[in-house]
Amino acid sequence: MPRYFITLIVAVALFMETMDSTIIATSLPAIAADLGEDPIALKLALTSYLLSLAVFIPVSGWMADRFGARTIFRAAIVVFTVGSAACGFATSLLDFILFRILQGMGGAMMVPVGRLVILRSVPKSELISALAWLTVPALMGPVIGPPLGGFITTVFSWRWIFWINIPVGLLGVYLATRFIENFREEAVPPLDVKGFFLSGIGLAGLAFGFTIIGQPLFPPWVVLALLTVGAVSCVLYVRHALNIPAPLLDLRLLKIPTFFANIAGGFLFRIGVGATPFLLPLYFQLGFGMTPLQSGLLTFAIAVGAVAMKTTAAPILRRFGYRPILVWNALVAAFFIMAYALFTAATPHAVILATLLVGGFFRSLEFTAINTIAYADIDEHEMSKATSFASVSQQLSMSAGVAVGALVLEFQRAGRDSHEVLASDFTLAFLIVGAICASSALVFMRLPKDAGASLSRKAHQLGEPDKQAELVPED
């Protein structure tokens, strides 16, 4: 079976997850109105999902090694689909958050295990193209999601945006059962149970604590307690992980410069990018008075630009190299995020579309570079650990982006008698998250000049051993 067909199968799951998240972002104001909640409070629905991902992703690599990648991948799709269907029946914010956590448990296994399947099926020399093409069908989610979510919310009900995942999930289960090899490791170390609880409590405490800062639903002492418990648990986990041979999240991987760049630089870059799906729909609907459909028809341009980039990502990276692209492209992508602050109700929609389109192109190029360089110098036996670690960092950074964007909005309206969100409140938010995004260039500048050489065809042709080729199952 062609390797890229496996890539397309994994992309079905990624398509379902990305479409779900972009549809929800567009429909947040309508969901908040129906549930009788403040629109900014609905950030809890976004971050609870990302939080669930961060807690359960670390164990995904071990489970795939122990029970088989196909087994876990298929089960994850089922859990995600059930959680999505349940969200459509939510009657309160608490229900909605709990069902989103269930969705996150499925997503925590679905995406990193799917990526692990690709990493074990494709040689490093083809990894750039494989991961780039992996995200093309997946990026159709953000293309279809905003206008579809706006249409469903405007014409029908926001609840239907969750039920459309059911047929996609069923298709994913069938394809995984029919075509994906059940990769597994022969010798799997025991599960790091202590590490699982320490990392879960630590990541959950910090992520949720930062998310609820400024929310009237929780008194200040609850926020402080969550942040304190989270910080202490993370410190205890670091001590624990450095003193056992097989930790759940292996911090020793950070000694590899290319992997460190993915974790540290990628974290900063994704804070800026993670805030935009939360901020833009609120900006257009609450600030400019657009309908969900009008908002979705604008924000989908980001994904169109991202899809357009995927056909050129591999040649660009091979022509210019990883370090120059990561450094300079991060600054360009950050500039476009900050440019959103210049939008007004009078800005022509054509200008908004063009800005979002071009910004999506450069943002997606950066993501391709960040996502692939993580595995440039990772040995085969460490792939599952690396994918789990990278996925945790990715989800935490996206959650941090939502939290930062929401916190700025809360600060902006704190001194007013009215708690109404104004268009002017978003200016500072876009400038701050854009500046954080640009700071990732400082991390990428530390990479060696030949970083990522093992991912290029040139390096493969010069005789570098292809450690992954021997793991490809017979067609």
More confident residue, 463 or 173: 173
Beta-carbon contacts of 368 under 8 Å, excluding residues fewer than 6 positions away, are: 128, 131, 132, 135, 309, 310, 313, 317
Decide: 58 and 199 in contact? Cβ < 8 Å.
yes
What's 287's DSSP letter?
I
pLDDT reported for residue 129: 62
Sole residue written with tokens 């001194």: 415
User: What does the block give as tokens for 329?
Assistant: 């492209």
pLDDT reported for residue 443: 92
* % residues pLDDT > 90 (the chain): 10
pLDDT reported for residue 467: 33
pLDDT reported for residue 123: 62
- Domain spans in the chain, listed from the N-terminal domain onward: 1-180, 192-247, 250-455
402-441 pLDDT, tens digit per residue, is 778 878 887 877 767 666 777 788 888 899 999 999 999 9
pLDDT reported for residue 331: 94
pLDDT reported for residue 415: 67
State how far the Cα of 115 lies from the Cα of 120, in Å rounded to an integer: 9
CA distances from 161 to 32, 155, 164 (A): 15, 12, 6
State how far the Cα of 74 lies from the Cα of 260, in Å rounded to an integer: 31
State how far the Cα of 63 lies from the Cα of 106, in Å rounded to an integer: 13
pLDDT reported for residue 357: 87
Has residue 187 got a pLDDT over 60? yes
Look at 118-122, 218-222, 244-248, 403-407 and tell me which has the smallest mean pLDDT: 118-122
What's 445's DSSP letter?
T
Has residue 459 got a pLDDT over 50? no
More confident residue, 464 or 154: 154
pLDDT reported for residue 277: 77
Has residue 462 got a pLDDT over 60? no
pLDDT reported for residue 140: 60
pLDDT reported for residue 421: 72
Look at 27-36, 39-48, 104-113, 376-385 and tell me which has the smallest mean pLDDT: 39-48
More confident residue, 194 or 452: 194
pLDDT reported for residue 436: 93
If pLDDT is split at 50, 70 and 90, which confidence band does 4 have? Answer: low
pLDDT reported for residue 332: 94
Task: Note whether 1-180 and 250-455 share their fold.
Answer: yes
> CB count, 10 Å around CB of 289?
10
At 373, give phi and psi (nearest 5°): -65, -20
- Mean pLDDT computed over 150-160: 77
pLDDT reported for residue 190: 80
Q: Whole-number mean pLDDT of the chain?
A: 77
Decide: 76 and 116 in contact? Cβ < 8 Å.
no
- Mean pLDDT computed over 238-254: 86
Look at 23-27, 280-284, 353-357, 456-460 and tell me which has the smallest mean pLDDT: 456-460
pLDDT reported for residue 1: 47
State how far the Cα of 177 lies from the Cα of 157, in Å rounded to an integer: 33
287-319 pLDDT, tens digit per residue, is 888 877 777 778 777 777 777 776 777 788 878
321-373 pLDDT, tens digit per residue, is 888 899 999 999 999 999 998 988 888 988 988 998 888 888 888 888 888 88
CA distances from 307 to 43, 404, 421 (A): 27, 27, 32
User: What does the block give as tokens for 172?
Assistant: 């994913």
If pLDDT is split at 50, 70 and 90, which confidence band does 51 have? Answer: confident
pLDDT reported for residue 328: 93
Beta-carbon contacts of 158 under 8 Å, excluding residues fewer than 6 positions away, are: 27, 30, 31, 34, 152
Task: Tell me which residue of 329, 391, 390, 394 sits closest to 363, measured CA to CA.
Answer: 329
SS3 assignment, position 376: coil
If pLDDT is split at 50, 70 and 90, which confidence band does 214 have? Answer: low
Look at 70-79, 111-120, 403-412, 421-430 and tell me which has the smallest mean pLDDT: 111-120
* % residues pLDDT > 70 (the chain): 79
pTM score of the predicted model: 0.71
Has residue 113 got a pLDDT over 90? no
Q: What topology does CATH give the domain 250-455? A: Growth Hormone; Chain: A; (1.20.1250)
pLDDT reported for residue 431: 93
pLDDT reported for residue 175: 81
CA 64 to chain centre: 20
Q: How would CATH label the architecture of 1-180?
A: Up-down Bundle (1.20)
Beta-carbon contacts of 54 under 8 Å, excluding residues fewer than 6 positions away, are: 108, 203, 204, 207, 392, 395, 396, 399
CA distances from 248 to 51, 366, 374 (A): 17, 28, 18
